Structure 1
Amino acid sequence: MKRVVIGLSGGVDSSVAAYLLQEQGYEVIGLFMKNWHDDTVTISNECPWLDDSNDAMLVAEKLGIPFQTVDLSEEYKERIVDYMFNEYEKGRTPNPDVLCNREIKFDVFMKIALDLGADYVATGHYCRKGTLEKDGESVYQLLAGVDGNKDQSYFLCQLSQEQLAKSLFPIGELTKPEVREIAMSLDLVTAEKKDSQGLCFIGKVKLPDFLQQQLKPKEGVIVEISNDLDIYKETEQSFASEEEKLAYLSRKIDYKVDLGKIVGKHQGAHYFTKGQRKGLGVGGTIEPLFVIDTDVNENVIYTGQGKAHPGLFKRALFVTNDELHWVREDLAVANGETMEVLARIRYRQALEKATLHKVELGMYVEFENPQSAITEGQFVAWYFEDELLGSGVIS
């Protein structure tokens, strides 16, 4: 019997995943990851991780599998929380869920599991793993989950071949309703439990409250930029090269306060992100205001009216070499080469047609249609059909 350590989160997905592994004949061990215990930032006096670990323990008991809790809060603080504050300070918007998978679940946690003699680590993610033979070697594929509504392959976009080799995703072939049905039939305590919201593992935390602990509030102005500004009217230019054109399409517009009008005040540009509509506290406009850019150095937020504001849209983005990652290293694009793919810049966004252009310093992702709120610090992931090939941090 091969041994599998499953990350039991106290949710329905990992509960059913554990049961399915048992059914497939694996020896299953359940581990709950405690990644946070700073109660000063949880909003309510609920203690979500305690409830979750209790539920995980009850599920393990019901299934008759060994269970223990591992405390990874130190590693989590170093690798996720500090990184997040760092990114926000630079005016970028990180994705803690993607990092949590790369750094915690499939690294720190995986090492603990392998030390326990595990052959594999399993999670309750809605995605699938494929295996190909290529030149006598096994190549692992990260495939979208069958449930298009719940597919979580995007969150695993930073995994490596070594990590995939040791991973199992038991519920990837199922839909969410099927997973709930199995949990109900087994009478699991998690069967009707709501999906967890909020930061990966931190429980019910309001992000601004959380950030305010480290990043001190600092008053600045909110500027509204009109949608008929001259910079948006530039016609098709002629470029000396394809790379020059891509650099132009992915450029960051250099907004200045005198390009628009001051319409309000805010408590810190680093609390806001592109495309954000809530929390601006400015009324009286015909259409709602959206954040089109933030300047953390000058502490200014630039906004525009309506979700069709031209300041929200771009056709291309850039990823630097050191933030470029291929799940399928064997398919990596070489300098000067291009590749037609489907790509997304956020979880649950529909896949969009795009072309990868590899250049000396990194890679451009050029979309067929302009994309709204391309945000620095977030991940772009690219696919061929239902296979995720690689990803990168938007620079």
Structure 2
Amino acid sequence: MKRVVVGLSGGVDSSVAAYLLQQQGYEVIGLFMKNWHDDSVTISNECPWLEDSNDALLVAEKLGIPFQTVDLSEQYKEKIVDYMFNEYEKGRTPNPDVLCNREIKFDVFMKIALSLGADYVATGHYCRKSETEVNGKTVYQLLSGVDNNKDQSYFLCQLSQEQLEKALFPIGELTKPQVREIAAEMELVTAEKKDSQGLCFIGKVRLPEFLQQKLQPKDGIIVQIDKDNSVYNNSVSEDLSTEDALALAAKPIKYTTEMGKVVGKHQGAHYFTVGQRKGLNVGGTAEALFVIATDVDTNTIYTGMGSHHPGLFRKALRVSPSEVHWIRTDMALANGETMKVKARIRYRQELQEATLHQFESGLYVSFEKPQSAITEGQFVAWHIGDELIGSGVIS
């Protein structure tokens, strides 16, 4: 019997994952990750991790599997939370969920599981794993989940071959309604439980309030840039090399306060992200204002009116050389090579037609259609068919 450690989060997905593995004849152990206990940074008096670990325990008891809690809060603070604050301070927008999978669940947590004699680690992610052979070697593939509404392969876009080899995703072939149905049939306490919102494994944490407890508020101005501003009339010269043309298309516009008019005040540019609409508190405009850029050095937020404002769109993005990650290392591009892919720049975005261009200066992703709110610090992931083959941090 192969031994599997399941990350039981106290939610319905991981509960059903544990049950399915049991049905498949694995020896299953449930582990709950406690990732946060800094009471100085909380959002409410609710203690979600206690409630969640209790639900995880009840599920383990129902299934008759061993269960324990592991405290990873120190590693979580160092690898995820501190990193997040650093990134926000620099005016970038990190993705804690992608990082949590790479650094915590499939690294720190996986090492604990393997030390318990586990052959595999399983999670309740909606994605699938497959394998193929390349030059006589087994290569692991990360595939989209069958449920298009719930596909979570994006969150695993930074995993390596070594991590995938030891990973199992038991619910990847199911839809969310099917998962709930199985939980109800098994009378699992989590069957009707709502999906958790908020930070990976911290529970009911809303990001702006979380950030405000560590990053000090400071007053700044909100500037509105008109859609007809001359900054958007950039005609590209014909004699640019492909690399220079891509670099130009990927480069964010540098705004100054003289380009627009001051329409309001804010409490800190580092709380805002490109594409954000809520929380600006500026009234009296014909359409909603969207953040088109933030400048943490001058503590200024630049906005544009309406979701079609040209300041929101770019046709290309760059990933710096050190941030390019191939799950399928056998498919990695050499300098000068290109590849047609489908890519997304955020979770749940429809896959977009794109081309990868690899240069010594980095990897460029050029899209067929301009993309809204390409955000520095977030991840771009690229697919061929159902398979997610690589990703990178948008620079």
Into which bin does the TM-score normalised by the smaller protein fall?
A: over 0.9
Q: 1:235 Cα deviation (Å)?
A: 3.0
The equivalent residue for 2:280 is: 280
Pairing of 1:199-238 with structure 2 (within 5 A): 199-238=199-238
Tell me the amino acid that sits aligned with residue 381 of structure 1.
Answer: A
Tell me the amino acid that sits aligned with residue 10 of structure 2.
Answer: G
Pairing of 1:245-256 with structure 2 (within 5 A): 245-256=245-256
Pairing of 1:361-376 with structure 2 (within 5 A): 361-376=361-376
Q: Helix, strand or coil: the match of 2:383?
A: strand
Q: Could you list the runs of 5+ residues in structure 2 that have no partner in the other structure?
A: none
Q: Helix, strand or coil: the match of 1:353?
A: strand
Q: 1:28 Cα deviation (Å)?
A: 0.2
Q: 1:213 Cα deviation (Å)?
A: 1.9
Q: 1:133 Cα deviation (Å)?
A: 1.5
Pairing of 1:338-357 with structure 2 (within 5 A): 338-357=338-357
In 2, Cα distance between the equivalents of 1:15 and 1:145? 17
In 1, Cα distance between the equivalents of 2:151 and 2:268? 34
In 1, Cα distance between the equivalents of 2:288 and 2:63? 51
Q: Helix, strand or coil: the match of 1:86?
A: helix
In 1, Cα distance between the equivalents of 2:159 and 2:239? 37
In 2, Cα distance between the equivalents of 1:237 and 1:48? 56
Q: 1:177 Cα deviation (Å)?
A: 0.4
Q: Assess if the C-alpha contact under 8 Å between 1:129 and 1:168 holds in 2.
A: yes
- 1:73 equivalent to 2:81? Answer no
The equivalent residue for 1:62 is: 62
Q: Cα deviation per residue 1:187-218 (whole Å; 9 max; x = unaligned)?
A: 00000000000011111122122112221111
Q: 1:45 Cα deviation (Å)?
A: 1.2
How much is the aligned-residue C-alpha RMSD, in angstroms?
A: 0.7
Q: Assess if the C-alpha contact under 8 Å between 1:34 and 1:49 holds in 2.
A: yes
Q: Assess if the C-alpha contact under 8 Å between 2:43 and 2:210 holds in 1.
A: no
The equivalent residue for 2:101 is: 101
The equivalent residue for 2:171 is: 171
Q: Cα deviation per residue 1:74-105 (whole Å; 9 max; x = unaligned)?
A: 00000000000000011000000000000000
Q: Cα deviation per residue 1:256-299 (whole Å; 9 max; x = unaligned)?
A: 00000001111100000000000011100000100000000010
TM-score by length of 1: 0.99
Q: 1:41 Cα deviation (Å)?
A: 2.8
Q: Helix, strand or coil: the match of 1:125?
A: coil
In 2, Cα distance between the equivalents of 1:211 and 1:145? 32
The equivalent residue for 1:45 is: 45
The count of aligned residue pairs is: 395
Identity %: 76
Q: Assess if the C-alpha contact under 8 Å between 1:17 and 1:170 holds in 2.
A: yes
- Give 4+ residue runs of structure 1 displaced > 3 Å after superposition: none
Pairing of 1:65-144 with structure 2 (within 5 A): 65-144=65-144
In 2, Cα distance between the equivalents of 1:175 and 1:204? 24
In 2, Cα distance between the equivalents of 1:171 and 1:270? 37
Q: 1:236 Cα deviation (Å)?
A: 4.1
Q: Assess if the C-alpha contact under 8 Å between 1:42 and 1:203 holds in 2.
A: no
Q: Assess if the C-alpha contact under 8 Å between 2:325 and 2:391 holds in 1.
A: yes
Tell me the amino acid that sits aligned with residue 93 of structure 2.
Answer: T
Q: Assess if the C-alpha contact under 8 Å between 2:4 and 2:118 holds in 1.
A: yes
Q: 1:231 Cα deviation (Å)?
A: 1.5
The equivalent residue for 2:333 is: 333
Q: Assess if the C-alpha contact under 8 Å between 1:345 and 1:381 holds in 2.
A: yes
**Which moved further from structure 2: 130-139 or 148-157?**
130-139
Q: Cα deviation per residue 1:155-209 (whole Å; 9 max; x = unaligned)?
A: 0000000000000000000000000000000000000000000011111122122
Tell me the amino acid that sits aligned with residue 208 of structure 1.
Answer: P
Tell me the amino acid that sits aligned with residue 235 of structure 1.
Answer: S
Q: Cα deviation per residue 1:43-86 (whole Å; 9 max; x = unaligned)?
A: 22111000000000000000000000000000000000000000
Q: Could you list the runs of 5+ residues in structure 1 that have no partner in the other structure?
A: none
In 2, Cα distance between the equivalents of 1:283 and 1:172? 44
Tell me the amino acid that sits aligned with residue 77 of structure 1.
Answer: K
Q: Assess if the C-alpha contact under 8 Å between 1:13 and 1:179 holds in 2.
A: yes
Q: Helix, strand or coil: the match of 2:213?
A: helix
